[in-house]
Amino acid sequence: MSQPSNELMIEARGVEKWYPNGFQALRGASLTVRRGEVVVIMGPSGSGKSTFIRTFNALEDFQKGSITVDGIVLSDDLRNIDAVRREVGMVFQQFNLFPHLSVLDNLTLAPVLVRKRPKAEVEQQAWALLERVGIAEQAGKFPGQLSGGQQQRVAIARALCMEPRILLFDEPTSALDPEMVREVLEVMQNLAADDITMVVVTHEVKFARHVAHRVVLMAEGEVVEEAEPEVFFTNPSHQRTRRFLDQIL
Amino acid sequence: MNSLLRRLRAELFATRTDTVLSLALITMLSLGAFGVLRWALTQAQWTVVKVNSTLFAVGRYPVEQQWRLWLLTALLVAASGATWGLLRAHPRPDRTGVLWPRNDRLAVGLLGLIALAVPWALELSLAIASRWWGLAVLLVLCRWLAGRFGPGLSPTGRRLAALVWPLLYLVGMVLISGGLGLVSVSPSEWGGLMLTLLASSFAILLCFPIGVLLALGRRSDLPLLRWGSVLYIEFIRGAPLITLLFLGQNILGFLLPGGLAPDRVWRAAWVLTFFAAAYLAEAVRSGLAAVPRGQLEAARSLGLSYPKALQHVVLPQALRVALPAMVGQFISLLQDTTLLSLIGLLELLGTARTVMANPAFLGRNGEVYLTLAVLFWGCCAALGLGSRALERRLDPHAVPSAT
C-alpha cells in the first residue's frame, strides 16, 4: 500500500446542508483527505454519507461551511465547479453508464468533449483502461448487454479515463449481486495501490479493513469517528461507532 | 401450401369460438371489400380524378414552370431512396445488414406496381408516364446504392448525409417559389398535394427545435423560463387549431418581423408550426422524464457542461423514447393541414372542394374523397414506416453487435 503524502486534496469544514423541504442532511460535517489516501466512509443509511461526498464535486450544494478540493474553493462560481469536476471522478451506486453509447464511447466521450483530446489517442488509453479492469473484450458492446459487475468496472474505467486526481465512490457495490461484488472490489483495491486519492462510501468491511488508510463513521449528518481501520473496528472511541459495528459485524 | 393451411387452422380455427369469430369477421370484411370494389369499378366515374390529376398534385402552378417541381420530386425521390437504403440495409452504423430484407423486396414490387398502374389508370400521356417510371427506377437505384455503399461512409460522411434533408428543403423552397434566376411563383398559385406537403414539412421541421426548447424550458430551474413555457404550451393546447389559424391570418402579420409572414400561406404554416410545437414539447417532456436523473449527474461529474450533457447524453435518450409520440404528432399535423382549406387555401382538401363545386363533376364526391383518403394514407404510412426504421436503428439493444 502506498503511503499518502501530506498534501491536502480535500478539506471540508463544518459543512451544513438543508434540502428544500427543510430537512437538514449535513450538520457540520468535516473531513480532510490527503493525496494518495484511501478513506472509507461508513454509517447507517440516512446518515448523510452520500450527500457528503456528492458535495465534493458539487453534485449537491451546501449552505454553510467550506470545501476546498485540490486547492480549488467550491463556491457558486460555475467555472470553479467545472474545474473541480474535471479533477474529481465519481462512481455511482447505479453505474449510470450511458446506455445509448458503446462501452468504448462511454469512456471516450468526456475526454474528447471536455479535455479536447484527439479521439484516436483517447481510444488507445480507453483500451488500456478496459484491459486493466478486465473487460477489453466487451468494448464494442452496449451497457445493457453487460452484467452489473462488468458495468461497474466500465464505470470505474470511464471515471479514470478523465485522469482525475480524486475518485469518489458512492456505494459502488450496493446494487450488485453478491457474486459480482468481489470483481469490483478487486479493481478498486488495485487502484488504491496507485497514487490516486479515493473516498469510498461502502458497507464492505473487508475492503475497509484491508485497503483503507482511514475509516470514518458518519451519523446524523456529522462525522462521529475517524480512525485507522485496525482501531476503528477493534477499539473505537465512540459509543455510536460501537453500536453501528454491533449491527453490521 | 400445406403448412400455410396448417398455420391458418392454428391461428383462425383452433377452437369453436375462434372459428365462429373468424368466419363472422371474414364475412364482414369480404362484404365490405366487395361493396367498395363494386362501387369503385361499376358506379364510380373516375374522370373527375383523371382530368384533375395535375390540379390535385400541384394546384394552379404555372404549367411552363412545372419542370421545377419535377426536378424537386426527382431530388426528393433520390434522397428518400438513399435514406431508405441507409436505414434498412444497416440497422446500425457498426453493422452490415441484409441488403434486401423481405419487406423491402415486397415494397419494391408494390412500388413498381403502383408506378405502372397509376399512370395507366389516370390515362397520363406517355411523356408524363415515363417520367413516373423514371422516378420509380431512380428510387430503387438510390436505395440499392445506399444499401450497397452506405457502410463505406466515414462517421463524418454519415453525419453529413443527414444534412441532405434540410439542405434539400432550402433547394425545394427556391425551386417552388423562385428566386436565384428562377421566375418567382407566388404562394397564391401553390396548391394540391404540393401545398399540403410543403406546409406540413415546414411545420414538422421547425416545430421540432421549438418543441425541444419548450420542453427544456418547462423543466428549467429558472422560474421565468419555466412559467413562460408552461403558459405557452397550455395556451396553445387549450385553443382549437382552427381558431388559431383564423387568429393567425389576422394578427400574425403584426407579431412576426416584417417579411417573415407576408403571405397567407406562410402565416398558416407558422401557425401550424407554433401549434405543433406545443404538443411536441409535451412528447419530448415525457421522453426527458424517462431519462434517469443519474444520467445527467454522471455526465456532469465527468466535467461535461450542462448544454453538452444535454446534447450528448440526455437528449439522444429522451428523443428515442419520445420518437413514437413525436411521429404521432407529425401524422396528425399532416392531417391538420386540411384545416387550411377553411381559411381559403387550396391544399388537397381545398382543391377537392373547388373541383367538386364544378358543375361538370357534380355528385362525384365519393371518388374525390376516396382519392384524398388514399393520398393521406400513403403519406402517413411513409412517415410511420420511416419512424419505425429509425427507431430500430437507434435502439442500442435491438441487435447485438460484434466487437
Mean residue pLDDT of chain A comes to 89
A29: β partners: A15
DSSP B182: B
Range from A73-87, B152-166, B386-400 carrying the lowest mean pLDDT: B386-400
Note whether B159 contacts A: Cβ–Cβ < 8 A.
no
Q: Residue B400 pLDDT more than 50? A: no
- CATH no. of B186-384: 1.10.3720.10
Q: Residue A238 pLDDT more than 50? A: yes
Q: Letter for the amino acid at A187?
A: V
Collapse the DSSP code of A88 into the 3-class scheme (helix H, G, I; strand E, B; otherwise coil) and give the result: strand
B328: β partners: none
Query: Which position has the higher pLDDT, B151 or B306?
Result: B306
What count of Cα atoms within 13 Å lies in the side-chain half-sphere of residue B10? 6
Contacts with A158 from chain B: Cβ below 8 Å: 302
Q: How far is B308 from chain A (nearest CA, A)?
A: 8
Q: Residue B252 pLDDT more than 70? A: no
Q: Which of B303, B396, B402 sits opposite A86 (nearest CB)?
A: B303
Q: Which of A115, A142, A158 sits opposite B397 (nearest CB)?
A: A142
Give percent of chain A with pLDDT exceeding 70: 98
Contacts with B308 from chain A: Cβ below 8 Å: 113-114
Examine residue A2 and state whether it is found in any structural domain, yes or no: no
Contacts with B313 from chain A: Cβ below 8 Å: 98, 109
Say what the pLDDT of residue A3 is: 67
Say what the pLDDT of residue B401 is: 37
Query: Which position has the higher pLDDT, B151 or A148?
Result: A148
Collapse the DSSP code of A64 into the 3-class scheme (helix H, G, I; strand E, B; otherwise coil) and give the result: strand
For chain B positions 319-378, those within 8 Å of chain A (CB to CB) are 320
CB B275 within 8 A of CB B244: yes
Nearest to A118 by CA among A126, B169, A210: A126
Read off the pLDDT band of B397 (50, 70, 90): low
Name the residue of chain B whose CA is nearest to A86's CA. Answer: B303
CB B302 within 8 A of CB A114: yes
Angle, CA of A45, A51 and A54, to the nearest 5°: 135
Examine residue A3 and state whether it is found in any structural domain, yes or no: no
Q: Residue B232 pLDDT more than 90? A: yes
Q: Which residues contact B358 (CB under 8 A, 6 or more apart)?
A: none
Examine residue A120 and state whether it is found in any structural domain, yes or no: yes
Instruction: Give tens-digit pLDDT for B353-374.
Output: 888 888 888 888 888 888 889 8
CB contact under 8 A, B302 and A99: no
Probe site for chain B from A113, A141, A151, A168 (most B CB atoms < 10 A): A113
Distance, in Å, from the CA atom of B121 to the CA atom of A173, rounded to the nearest integer, reads 69
Q: Which residues contact B80 (CB under 8 A, 6 or more apart)?
A: B139, B142
Q: Residue A169 pLDDT more than 80? A: yes
User: Domain map of chain B by residue range?
Assistant: 49-182, 186-384
Give mean pLDDT, residues B140-160.
81
Note whether B186 contacts A: Cβ–Cβ < 8 A.
no
Instruction: Give tens-digit pLDDT for B310-341.
Output: 999 999 999 988 988 999 999 999 999 999 88
Residue count (chain A): 249
For chain B positions 93-112, those within 8 Å of chain A (CB to CB) are 94
Name the residue of chain A whose CA is nearest to B304's CA. Answer: A114
B192: β partners: B347
Residue count (chain B): 403
Distance, in Å, from the CA atom of B344 to the CA atom of A29, rounded to the nearest integer, reads 70
CB contact under 8 A, B302 and A137: no
For chain B positions 253-292, those within 8 Å of chain A (CB to CB) are 292
Q: Which CATH number characterizes residue A244's domain?
A: 3.40.50.300
Domain count, chain A: 1
Contacts with B321 from chain A: Cβ below 8 Å: none
Note whether A69 contacts B: Cβ–Cβ < 8 A.
no
Q: What is the ipTM of this complex?
A: 0.90
Read off the pLDDT band of A11 (50, 70, 90): very high
CB A207 within 8 A of CB A189: yes
Give mean pLDDT, residues B175-193.
82
Say what the pLDDT of residue B198 is: 87
Distance, in Å, from the CA atom of B61 to the CA atom of B38, rounded to the nearest integer, reads 35
Examine residue A1 and state whether it is found in any structural domain, yes or no: no
> B224, exposed or middle or buried, with CB in 10 Å at 0-12, 13-18, 19+?
exposed
Distance, in Å, from the CA atom of A81 to the CA atom of A58, rounded to the nearest integer, reads 6
Say what the pLDDT of residue B253 is: 65
Distance, in Å, from the CA atom of A98 to the CA atom of A110, rounded to the nearest integer, reads 12
Q: Letter for the amino acid at A132?
A: R
Read off the pLDDT band of B260 (50, 70, 90): low
Read off the pLDDT band of B1 (50, 70, 90): low
Distance, in Å, from the CA atom of A69 to the CA atom of A4, rounded to the nearest integer, reads 16
| φ, ψ of residue A67 in degrees (nearest 5) | -130, 130
CB contact under 8 A, A144 and B394: no
Place of cell 466535467: B303
Give mean pLDDT, residues A123-135.
91
Examine residue A197 and state whether it is found in any structural domain, yes or no: yes
Say what the pLDDT of residue A125 is: 92
Distance, in Å, from the CA atom of B104 to the CA atom of B110, rounded to the nearest integer, reads 10
CA distances to A103, B291, B294, B296 from A81, in Å: 27, 24, 18, 15
Give the sign of the dihedral formed by CA A139, CA A144, CA A147, CA A149.
Answer: positive
Q: Which of A82, A138, A139 sits opposite B305 (nearest CB)?
A: A82
Nearest to A200 by CA among A220, A164, A172: A172
Q: Which of A59, A109, A158 sits opposite B300 (nearest CB)?
A: A59
Distance, in Å, from the CA atom of A4 to the CA atom of A37, rounded to the nearest integer, reads 5
Instruction: Give tens-digit pLDDT for B50-77.
Output: 778 888 888 888 888 888 888 888 999 9
Give mean pLDDT, residues B187-211.
88
Range from A106-110, B125-129, B287-291, B394-398 carrying the lowest mean pLDDT: B394-398
